[in-house]
């Protein structure tokens, strides 16, 4: 059986990529799935309000809502860094110090 694929022509390159962003209805549907248990039913209104807040944060791309200036020791001391990032950075530095002190 002969292969009928023509390798003499280069394939057209693919350009672009579809957006991975979710629309509001899909985002909220996924968010609300975590509250499927009937035990959450008495708080359905409150959970709906939380879903709206979560959607606003997602749609406005507020990935790091709480930041502080990088400060001394960083290339750009005025850069706003997430406080979560600082906590992780300090934990790594503490682990490095513990590792080095075991000599």
Question: Is position 2 within any domain?
Answer: no
Question: Is position 12 within any domain?
Answer: no
Q: Of the given ranges (9-13, 34-38, 41-45, 87-91), which has the lowest mean pLDDT?
A: 9-13
Question: Is position 11 within any domain?
Answer: no
88 and 100 inside one domain: yes
- What is the rounded end-to-end Cα distance, in angstroms, of the chain? 68
pLDDT score for 15: 84
> 49: domain range?
22-62
Cβ–Cβ under 8 Å, residues 30 and 57: no
56 and 31 inside one domain: yes
Instruction: List, for residues 28-45, the tens digit of each pLDDT value.
Output: 999 999 999 999 999 999
pLDDT over 90 (residue 99): yes
28 and 54 inside one domain: yes
33 and 54 inside one domain: yes
Q: How many domains does the chain have?
A: 2
pLDDT over 80 (residue 3): no
79 and 49 inside one domain: no
pLDDT over 70 (residue 65): yes
């Amino acid at each position: 059986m002969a292969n009928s694929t023509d390798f003499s022509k280069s394939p057209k390159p693919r350009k672009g990529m579809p957006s991975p962003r979710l629309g509001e209805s899909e985002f909220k549907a996924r968010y609300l799935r975590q509250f499927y248990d009937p035990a959450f039913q008495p708080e359905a209104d409150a959970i709906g309000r939380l879903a709206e807040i979560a959607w606003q944060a997602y749609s406005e791309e507020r990935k790091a809502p709480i930041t502080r200036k990088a400060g001394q020791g960083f290339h750009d001391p005025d850069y706003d860094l997430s406080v979560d990032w600082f906590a992780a950075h300090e934990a790594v530095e503490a682990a490095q110090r513990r590792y080095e002190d075991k000599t």
